[in-house]
């Protein structure tokens, strides 16, 4: 009977674990999709504020290639947004004009080369170890360059790892609580009736028919029927 008791606890616990793991995996995928969309929106907002300044300078007849202190301005935007690794302004053909400080970046040469093939139809994508978004710079209806914003490609993975640790912690606590609740529940609704049935069958085998199962199986299993 103890073996049966352990079997039911193991079975129910396995079902709970399986269900919790499936829910956690689905939640992880939803978090990833939501975080990716959120990061893209943040990059767009940062880019739009920078593009507004660039547009004002163009409208003031400042030549595109002669923006004063543009590197310093991009570095200030980067400093105000810790998740951003770089900001780069390129010509339409991809040649670099201005940028934040690129000294600390990895694969700078490969990054510059990849930006040369960028056009208005290019979707945000991973370039080496960075996730790059390019926003077109338009003046008088003509596309004259791009503002590129990049962040570490694994930033979402880092956030998901932190979330995964929280999910695992909740999962472990849930399983432990479920096991503690299962033990008295199984004892009252399953194990006790099984013990009673086993006792009845043992008595029947000994030709003792004095015990019976009443209608209220939960509260009065295997009451003795006294002979008169």
Residue 84 has pLDDT above 60, yes or no: yes
Whole-number pLDDT of residue 208: 67
Least confident residue range of 113-127, 139-153, 203-217? 203-217
Q: What's the CA gap between 110 and 107, in Å, rounded?
A: 5
Helix intervals (H) in the chain: 2-59, 70-80, 108-115, 155-186, 192-205
Residue 165 has pLDDT above 60, yes or no: yes
Among residues 179, 191, 138, 148, which one has the least CA distance to residue 44? 148
pTM over 0.95: no
Tokens, residue 197:
């049935």
Task: Render pLDDT for 91-121 as a digit per residue (tens, 0 to 9).
Answer: 888 889 999 999 888 888 888 888 888 888 8
Task: Look at the alpha carbons of 11, 218, 192, 201 in this order and tell me if their dihedral is positive or negative.
Answer: negative
Residue 158 has pLDDT above 60, yes or no: yes
Q: Report in angstroms the alpha-carbon separations of 220 from 186, 188, 200, 213.
A: 16, 11, 14, 8
State the average pLDDT for the chain.
77
Burial (CB < 10 A; 0-12, 13-18, 19+), residue 18, is exposed
Q: Quote the distance between the C-alpha of residue 23 and its chain's center.
A: 12
């Amino acid at each position: 009977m103890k073996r049966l008791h352990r079997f039911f606890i193991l079975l129910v616990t396995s079902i709970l674990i399986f269900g919790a793991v499936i829910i956690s995996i689905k939640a992880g995928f939803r978090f990833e999709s939501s975080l990716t969309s959120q990061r893209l929106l943040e990059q767009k907002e940062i880019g739009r504020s920078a593009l507004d300044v660039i547009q004002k300078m163009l409208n003031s007849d400042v030549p595109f290639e002669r923006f004063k202190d543009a590197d310093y301005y991009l570095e200030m935007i980067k400093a105000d947004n810790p998740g951003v690794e770089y900001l780069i302004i390129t010509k339409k053909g991809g040649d670099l004009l201005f940028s934040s400080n690129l000294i600390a970046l990895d694969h700078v040469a490969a990054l510059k080369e990849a930006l040369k093939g960028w056009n208005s139809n290019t979707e945000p994508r991973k370039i080496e170890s960075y996730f790059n978004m390019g926003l077109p710079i338009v003046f008088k209806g003509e596309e004259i360059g791009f503002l590129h914003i990049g962040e570490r490609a694994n930033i979402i993975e880092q956030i998901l790892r932190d979330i995964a640790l929280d999910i695992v912690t909740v999962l472990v606590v849930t399983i432990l609580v479920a096991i503690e609740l299962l033990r008295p529940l199984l004892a009252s609704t399953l194990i006790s009736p099984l013990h009673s049935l086993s006792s009845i069958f043992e008595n029947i085998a000994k030709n003792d028919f004095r015990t019976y199962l009443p209608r209220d199986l939960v509260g009065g299993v295997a009451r003795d029927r006294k002979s008169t």
